[in-house]
Structure 1
Amino acid sequence: MADKLGGLLRGFRDEAGLTQEQVAERSGVSVRTIRRLESGSSTNHRMGTVQLLADALGLGEQDRARLAATLAGSPGDPVGPTAPATTTAPDDLTAAALELATEVRRRWRREEAQRRVHDPFPLPVRWQAAPSGLTDRPENIQRLGPGGRSQEVDLGGDLRAVAEVYRRIPSGRLVILGRAGSGKSVLAIRFTLDLLAAPAAGGRVPVILGVGSWDPSTTALRDWLVARLLRDHPHLARRSARGATLAAALVDADLVLPVLDGFDEMAPGLRREALEALNATSSPLVLTSRRAEYADAVGAAHAPLVWAGAVELTDLTLDDLADYLPRTTRAHLATADTAAPAEGRPAEAHAGAWDTVLARLRRARDAHDPRGADLAAVLTTPLMVILARTLYSDTPGRDPAELLDPTRFPTARSLEEHLLAGFVPAVYRRRAPERDAGGRRPGAPFADPARAERWLGHLARHLNRLDHEQRDLAWWQLSDSLSRRSRSLAVVLATGLSVAIADWLLCLLLSPLPGFRLLLQGTLLGLAAGLAFGSVYALADRSRSGAPLEPAGVRLTLRHGPGGLGRRPLRTFAIRAGQGLFGGAVMGTGCALALTTERAVASGTRLADRWVVEGTLIDVLVFALTFGLAAALVFGLVAALEAPVDVTAAATPAVLLASNRSTVGRQFLVLAPALTLAIALTGRLLVQLLRGSLDRRLEWEFWDGLLIGAVGGLGGATAYLLAFTAWGQWLLLARIWLPLTGRLPWDPAAFLDDAYQRGVLRQTGAVHQFRHLRLQHHLGGRCGRTPPGLGPGPAAGA
């Protein structure tokens, strides 16, 4: 196949009368790559490269089809921008692409339903061609060769025709611009679903990705795309026939169409570099951004997104509002509440609640009435219209005519703040909880608006205070909302309590001690272990600069597939063993000091006595070596037995949380007995070796050693999992510490899911996001406080 492909390329180049250097200059592909392709020495043919060469040679559809058929080894589809060579993909890639398309379709259909986009009908989001300074030249967008004449491409349209407009762009690259709340994300969702509903032959799978989390200064675009796919679709972690993950194989085969949402959410200093990185690629993509931020990046990079058409969303009109808002009110809403409708109006009057507002807006348009001009300016974006609809149409007893009060809302800014402030109280009305798929009724819903707003404010502040715009709200990152000192203190208390409880229970069962000695020994051991684990945790936390622990993506197995960690067993073993040696030595030292102190207090001996000091030093040596070597051996072997988890279900926060809970449980079942036996046997062996070297009689009875090992195994395994796994940190900090301080409810996962069901959050793979970035900023700035002059209103008390 390589020889046939090379012969075809040479023939097409000869017909065009071009040298390899000229083709390289036109296509951006290196001369070395072209030579390898034409000579047949390259066995890894990337469709993007072949497509660039086809464009540079000016090939027609028939010649492109011949290239695609040769590349696939059978007749195939053309190599145009809407038809990457799916025929070249093996069966596992084809199946993975179909599965990915199914997941993406299901996820964003559900998101549209959560947003109530189609109730009663989608808002008429429209756009026009962007200014010439923000788009590439027409001949470049159409990928024409030298001397080619560009034809005018109509990029105007509305929400119903976004996929059709995209297909008019030969390059397959589109930029969607708009101001805050103008509907860019809704348009990206509708584009994705429309493209999936009527895919082109062999078309790419559109995948919406929040580009705000990409740092182009440290991560290549391809690597970031693969990482996002693995996070949001973990079944793509399976290995393809060539050994790469399915996510990497799909990206490399040009079977993924990135829909990069939120370019403006990137850190300002990274936008130029991001645009330059995108310009270094030729693959089709869609990019959404606010106009000003994108224009700044274009100016800094001295070029727009190359080969890309650009459109800019336009404002909603008064006619749009007149068609939409009245149909969002239902007469029965006024009777759904036990309270009487506002001002004694009959239930039917609620259906015309927007008539007064619309009449004033018409007068403001026709006679330049300043009292309605501010509201007219506010209600030009879908975001503000949806907030107004939620606050008034969906809330019994609320009259939208209050928006016309110039005393209460003297500026457009005050109107926007009012709508943002009223959104959470409006959606957190009390309602009966629905049963889940298993018929179980969940606990009481989170219907207290004040507390819900305080909890959401904490989450929003956590995202807003990061170094740059951050939208992904991941359950394993909630611990990062606490200070490093608070996290370390929580680890000290939790690990100390774990070891103390293990000692008390095991001593009661296996080695009864007087009550005072039992309490004292467990307390001292817990204190020593807590300080040891807390110190190690603080050092590790500082070394990773506060970066949250990622969810465990491994399982324990005696068998390794091609993607196992066994490729570098010595390095993995050495790293984990070194960590275990240090941590175990610190814990063993603390335990030796604690046991010596307990014996001295119980016998009334002074700690300063010479024989006590000498015995303490020997005990410290023995315990430090015992615990350190045992921990190094166990953690090193466990690391060597780890392999990636093969998750076949679609990723959701709940699925990932449950998966990691199971992983941590299995790790405990391995670590606890392994540490127990390792400590018991290592201690006995060390005592036998040191007995002749030290001028002191050493004893390590089997049952005593087993008891010490059991305390170290059960307590140490529990403490380790609480301090050094993502699920343990979630349990300790998000389920216990944050609720104790009132910053989160006792069941954060249920609260996040409830907020998603109410439309405050959206779900993107394994993470949540606030529905709107402006809502996130508003809640993060307020932190649950009500602005002056804004009362709770009827919705808050509902």
Structure 2
Amino acid sequence: MVVGDHGTMVVHNHLTPQTPLDVMAETLAAAVEEEWNKEAGLRRLKARVVDETPLPVRWEVSGRRVADRVAGATAEGVRDSFGPLPGLRVVTREQLLEGGGLNELYEVYGGLASGRILLVGREAAGKTAALVLLLLKAIEYRREAKPENQRRIPVPVLLPLEGWDPRKESALDWAATQIARRYRVRGPEEARQLLKERRVALFLDGLDEVVGKLRGAMVRALGSERVRMVVASRVDEAERTAQKMRLRGAVGLEIQPVKPEVAADYLLNQLPDPPPPAWHRLTSRLLHESDSAVAEALSSPLAIGLVRDVYREDDPVDELLDTARFPDSRTIEDHLLDHAVAAAYTPAYWDPRPRYSPETAERTLRFIAARLAQEGGGDLSWWHIPGWANPRPRAVVVGVVVGMVYGVVSALGLWRASGPLSACVAGPLLAVAAGGLAGRQVSLLAAPQPLPSAGWRDIFSPATLKIGVMCWLSVGLMNWFGPQFMDPPMPVWLDWLTALPFGFAATMASGPGYQLMVGGFLFGLGSGPWFNGMRQRLTRRTVTESRSIGPRDVWRHHGGLRLVLALVSGLAVALVFGCYMGWSHGLRNGVASALVAGLWATLFAGPVGNLTVATALTAVQLAFRERTPVRLMAFLDDAHHRNLLRVTGPVYQFRHARLQERLTQQE
């Protein structure tokens, strides 16, 4: 405080520069917030209009044996303890036993000494919804904190546990790989550093979906990591797992059923006052007969949301009160699930007409649910779609088209260069070879495989560009100083021009671009364990901005990137063959050689080995066989926007496991 006239206050501003880890954490936080804000809107977890109020989250300490004692989670001074986040207090036993809502859940998350929460609930209780809302709360709290405190507040990242094998990969390594792949963080090593320094908190969903002994192995592996985490699971599976292995230091919090008065208010919120008689009878039963079948069914967020989706304002919603048709809560839930797809594709009079009919949508989703049940998982990975239909018809079609195109183009080039005899002999042979290899490559794409993907700045990173320039200089110098085996010798400018494709090949082979180009690349570079290790060392620091993109965006990105790279690769091959052959044997031979070699490289590096193209062709094949939409990826994106599917990174999942189960049974 400065008192009196002519007082002077000297203020010093000290700015601490951000470290690369700070920048990466900020970029990751922005990507996570963008992804889950959008997804929360589609899942109706956030208010979309002014007068809409989402269902609240209520929790209590679980009374079942799913975790250790509460005292173990709140103890201070233990080796794995976490200090409270800036602005929060240490959570006490009394505070936990009081329970609460979302704000109290965040206080537990940020102030629990053990830093571990096991969030459990019965089926369709809203565990994933609570996890998403807690994540958004954590992101918001971090964004509004002072800059000096943001470094001490971890970035929450939600990951599904499906696909992780703790017997082969540690929890930290697996999480780092998932974060780097999903959010395009610079690399697994940088993501691992964020985790080791507690700059990232793990929100892990789907522990109950893991089968067998793998679940216990996951719990053991997670308990040994010093990372703040929240793990969600159904309560029955969590209790069975805890009999053999508990998540060390975790407190078990159970999501509570929705209260009847909250459910009634939510259902009546979008209706006129007074409500229609059918809705009034339904909500009256909810409020006055809490032990009825409809009250038990509408204690879960899933069933409440389905009632709002299936029944319009003037529909006979009171039919759910018929105890002869619906004797228990399970039959009510099955009835709502059976009508969920048709309701999503039946527009109100003010809505635009959907692109797909209810019958088409239901038939397609039944087929997809049955396929996922066959594969034994809940993730719909679009790059596995080529395995849903016999690849032979696609292989034949692609082989014939590629063979005809390549045979005609190469025959014309050879005719102009060497005459009709060589064109008639070599043209058919090249056509058969190209068609056979193209068909074989299409067939190979039907087998399940990981999705190779990268961005432009990942492929052409500073490290790979340096290798490309060094290779270009080396080949150019060899052409310049080497023996002049060509008669007449090529000029200097042509020596350096023909070296450019070798530099491009080295750039692609030394980075993630190698994964996008099939067959050991074009010039034989990038094969063997030495090159694989070199690529891993060079791609540790990529520079692509962090962002998470959905399945359809990944599909488009993968296809467009592959096709452009294939065209550039074809031009590179054409440049090498065309220059050498053209200078030695004339312009016609050079053009013919460039055409034959460049087209081969373009076809096989691009559309033939492209998973995007294979997925699109499979969708056409399924449209004839199963009467599904020809543009299957567009349909999946539309179903996501209608809240029938949800997005987790680059894969789709059904809105709820029960919906997938009902559709599978119908199929």
- Which category of TM-score, normalised to the shorter sequence, fits these structures? 0.7 to 0.9
Native 8 Å contact 1:491 1:722 kept in 2: no
8 Å contact kept, 2:581–2:593: no
Q: Paired residue for 1:128? A: 60
TM-score of the two chains, using structure 2 as the length reference:
0.75
Which residue of the partner structure matches residue 11 of structure 2? none
Q: For 1:659-711, what per-residue CA distance to the aligned partner results, in whole angstroms no more than 9, with x for missing partners?
A: 323421332223323444667799999xx9xxxxxxxxxxx998568546634
RMSD of aligned alpha carbons: 4.6
Equivalent residue, structure 1, for 2:158 = 208
Name the structure 2 match of 1:404.
321
1:164-194 deviations in Å (ceiling 9; x for gaps): 2323422221111101110111111111122
SS in 1 for 2:60: strand
Alignment of 1:463-502 (within 5 A): 463-467=372-376, 469-471=377-379, 473-482=380-389, 486-502=390-406
Shift of 1:250: 1.6
**Aligned counterparts of 1:410 and 1:311: Cα–Cα separation in 2:** 31
Q: In 2 relative to 1, CA 744–433 (structure 1 residues): closer, same or farther, beyond 3 Å?
A: farther
Letter in structure 2 aligned against 1:504: V
Whole-Å separation in 2 of the counterparts to 1:455 and 1:398: 26
- In structure 2, relative to structure 1, the CA distance for the partners of 1:756 and 1:431 (3 Å cut) is farther
1:445-472 CA distance string (max 9 Å, x none): 42311111222233333333224x333x
Instruction: Name the counterpart of 2:200.
Output: 256
Tell me the equivalent position of 1:7. none
Q: One-letter code of the match for 1:271?
A: R
Alpha-carbon distance in 2 for matches of 1:558, 1:118: 40
Matched, 1:670 2:604: no
Instruction: String of CA shifts for 1:466-497, please: whole Å, max 9, x gaps.
Output: 24x333x3333332433xxx235423431431
In 2, distance between residues paired with 1:681 and 1:525? 22
Give the counterpart letter for 1:137 in structure 2: R
Match of residue 446 from structure 1: 355
2:299 corresponds in structure 1 to 380
Q: Which deviates more from structure 2 when the two are superposed, residues 260-269 or residues 641-650?
A: 641-650
The amino acid of 2:186's aligned partner reads A
The equivalent position to 1:237 in structure 2, one of 186, 193, 196, is 186
Name the % identity.
27
Match of 1:753 among 637, 641, 644: 637
Q: For residue 654 of structure 2, what is the amino acid of its counterpart?
A: F
Aligned in 2, Cα 1:323/1:430: closer, same or farther, shift over 3 Å?
A: closer
Equivalent residue number for residue 251 of structure 2? 309
Contact 1:497 1:526 in 2 (8 A): no
Residue in structure 2 matched with residue 111 of structure 1 by the alignment: 39
Q: Is the 8 A contact 1:499 1:719 kept in 2?
A: no
Alignment correspondent of 2:110 = 167
Superposed CA offset, 1:767-786 (max 9, x none)? 33322222233333434xxx
| Alignment correspondent of 2:606 | 721
Residues 551 and 727, structure 1, Cα contact 8 Å, conserved in 2? no
Letter in structure 1 aligned against 2:302: L
Residues 145, 233 of structure 1: CA spacing in aligned structure 2 closer, same or farther, 3 A cutoff?
closer
Amino acid at match of 2:106: A
Task: Say whether 1:357 aligns with 2:301.
Answer: no
Given the alignment, which residue of 290, 293, 317 partners 2:234? Answer: 290
Distance 2:75 2:409 in 1: 74
Instruction: Tell me the CA shift for residue 362 of structure 1.
Output: 5.1
Change in CA separation of 1:552 and 1:459 when aligned onto 2, cut-off 3 Å: farther
> Would you say how many aligned residue pairs link Structure 1 and Structure 2?
585
Give how far 1:260 is off: 0.6
SS of residue paired to 1:198? helix
Question: Does 2:369 align with 1:460?
Answer: yes
- SS of the residue corresponding to residue 286 of structure 1 reads strand
Letter in 2 for 1:91: T
Residue 261 of structure 2 corresponds to which residue in structure 1?
319
Alignment of 1:497-576 (within 5 A): 497-505=401-409, 507=411, 511=415, 525-535=430-440, 538=443, 546-552=448-454, 560-561=462-463
Give 1 or 2 for the bigger CA radius of gyration: 1
Does structure 1 retain, via aligned residues, the 8 Å contact 2:398–2:439?
A: no
Judged with a 3 Å threshold, the aligned counterparts in structure 2 of structure 1 residues 558 and 410 are, in CA distance, closer, same or farther, namely: closer
Report whether the alignment pairs 1:96 with 2:17. no
CA deviations 1:295-352 (Å, max 9, x no partner) are 1211132xx2111111112222322222222223358xxxxxxxxxxxxxxxx764x5
State the secondary structure of the residue aligned to 1:710. Answer: helix
Pairwise CA distance, 1:226: 1.3
Relative distance call for 1:560 and 1:118 in structure 2 (3 A) is closer
Cα shift readout 1:561-580 (whole Å, capped 9, x = no counterpart): 2899999999996999x999
State the Cα distance separating 1:397 from its structure 2 match: 4.0
After the TM superposition, which residues 265-276 of structure 1 pair with which residues of structure 2 at under 5 Å, given as runs?
Answer: 265-276=209-220
Cα distance change on mapping 1:383 and 1:564 into 2, 3 Å: farther
1:710 alignment partner, one of 591, 595, 602: 595
Aligned match for 1:413, one of 330, 336, 339: 330
Change (3 A) 1:579 1:182: closer
Return 5+ residue gaps in structure 1 as ranges.
1-75, 77-86, 239-243, 332-347, 435-442, 585-629, 689-699, 784-798
Alignment pair present for 1:222 and 2:222: no
Q: Residue deviations 1:405-448, cap 9 Å, x none?
A: 344334433322111111111111247999xxxxxxxx984231
1: CA distance between counterparts of 2:405 and 2:24?
A: 48
Match of 2:547 among 650, 658, 667: 650
- Give TM-score, length-normalised by structure 1: 0.64
Q: Structure 2 vs 1, CA of residues 647 and 433 (structure 1 numbering), >3 Å: closer, same or farther?
A: farther
Q: 1:636 to 1:142 in 2, by over 3 A?
A: closer
Q: Residues of 2 paired with 1:178 and 1:421: CA distance?
A: 24
Once residues 386 and 114 of structure 1 are traced to their aligned partners in structure 2, the CA distance between those partners, rounded to angstroms, is 12
Q: RCO higher in 1 or 2 (8 Å CA, sep ≥ 6)?
A: 2
Contact 1:429/1:447, CA 8 A, preserved across alignment: no
Q: Letter of the 1:427 partner, please give it.
A: A
Change (3 A) 1:510 1:754: same
Task: Structure 2 unaligned segments of length 5 or more: list them.
Answer: 1-13, 82-91, 472-504
Taking structure 1 as reference, are residues 129 and 636 closer, same or farther at Cα in structure 2, changes over 3 Å only?
closer
